[in-house]
A and B are shown apart, each in its own frame.
Chain A
Amino acid sequence: MDDLRPLASYAAVGAWLDSLRQHWGGDPANDDPERLDILEAFCRFADNDPDEIIAGCVLVRDGEKRIRAKGRQRYAGLIAEFQSGVEGSRLRRAKWGNTVRSFLIHNGILLQSGVQGGEPGSEMRDEGD
């Protein structure tokens, strides 16, 4: 998508960074220089801006906010596809996927992707232990 504004100007990005700061401390906008770049890459991949992504996972019924199961499934699938297309190590692919998952999670969209490369002997395990 071509008309993406600076990411920090989107409400959902602000909510993400605020929640990250509140939960983990630090300066989420700067302590991982790739964080916003990864989300931007995903937005272009999905052809949605950050607020549209969150809106696609939520519906309001009878005045109550609910998670839209189909929307969440769609984005879970897109994230997996996005992640698998990242060049580099398995660890790097997992990081890119999990960064986008974190964006959804901190906007209230429950998402459990499972272990990303935790098999014995995988590079994730080798680097993590």
Chain B
Amino acid sequence: MEFKEVIGRRRSIRFFEPDKPVEREKIQKILEAARLASCAVNAHWAKAIVVERDKLPEDKLERMKTPVAALNIELAPVHIYWYADLGVVNRIQGSRLKELVDVGALAPTHGWSHKFVDDFVYPQILKPMTEGPGYPIGAATDCGVAICQALLTAFDEGLGGCLSSFNGAIAKELFHPPDDWVPLYVLLIGYPAESWEAGGQRPRPPFEEQYHDGEYGKPFARDEKVVEELMRAKMIQEPASPNNPKRTEEIKRLAERLGLPL
């Protein structure tokens, strides 16, 4: 699938084929995609614990269910619990930045050297950064980039996925992440039981409301020709609409098949 179509085809899938396992190699591809994500100071805060639902004892699976995501957790065969490893910056102390210097990604042309990293970047910028209140926000933002690549790769592999919050305290008991890992989201993965359209592209706020041109309050103008081009590339697709009879029938059929309330 072409890149733009992968973006266009992604929807939060909430009906999974509960008994169709996800191939281990597909899980690896999803994780490989996350590992290659862009990341500030090459720190790579994003860490994950992959849990195969059917390998989890039933009582533990029950404990991981949250009021909003209980059904998704039950249906999805694979759960990837994402964390921000807040300890990583002080463990690596700029060493991964120096790797970037060595491979020419950060070059002297832009002022970079090992000594700059050792004498200034780590002690004067990165270490104090880890003590500031905004640190977890920055780390989580970078994790979001990695998680997004994982999510899109799942769809590129013909799977569906949905991000949900999870109970970090219970996950800590069950999966034993280190103390400095902050829980983010669980990415629930499986083969969709719903059609890939899943009712259409989900409603989004108007483009001009979200993006500004040069300064806040001046909307970035949306060029309809670009929109048409993205429609041809299948990035912008048929939007979901209220009371769509096809979608209604699909949900009824899934509810009947899986024994869910309407």
Please report A residues at the B interface, Cβ cutoff 8 Å.
Answer: 20, 24-25, 91, 94, 98-99, 101-102, 105, 110-120, 124-125, 128-129
In chain B, positions 44-68 with a C-beta closer than 8 Å to chain A are 65, 67-68
Assess the A24–B71 pair: CB atoms within 8 A. no
Taking CB atoms, residues of chain A closer than 8 Å to B65 are 112, 114
What's the nearest-Cβ distance from chain B to residue A102, in Å? 4
Please report B residues at the A interface, Cβ cutoff 8 Å.
Answer: 18-19, 65, 67-68, 70-71, 74-75, 243, 248, 252, 256-262
Report Cα–Cα, A110/B69, bound state, in Å. 11
Q: Ordered nearest first, which 10 A-B pairs have the shortest CB separation?
A: A116-B259, A128-B257, A98-B261, A112-B70, A101-B261, A94-B259, A102-B261, A112-B71, A114-B74, A117-B259
Assess the A112–B67 pair: CB atoms within 8 A. yes
Q: List 27 A-B contacts (CB under 8 A).
A: A24-B248, A24-B252, A91-B259, A94-B259, A98-B259, A98-B260, A102-B262, A110-B67, A110-B68, A112-B65, A112-B68, A112-B70, A112-B71, A113-B260, A114-B70, A115-B18, A115-B74, A115-B260, A116-B258, A118-B259, A124-B257, A124-B258, A124-B259, A125-B257, A128-B256, A128-B257, A128-B258
Assess the A105–B19 pair: CB atoms within 8 A. no
Given contacts A102-B261, A105-B261, 20 further A-B contacts (CB under 8 A): A20-B262, A24-B252, A25-B248, A91-B259, A102-B262, A110-B67, A112-B65, A112-B67, A112-B68, A112-B70, A114-B65, A114-B70, A115-B18, A115-B258, A116-B258, A118-B257, A124-B257, A124-B258, A124-B259, A128-B259
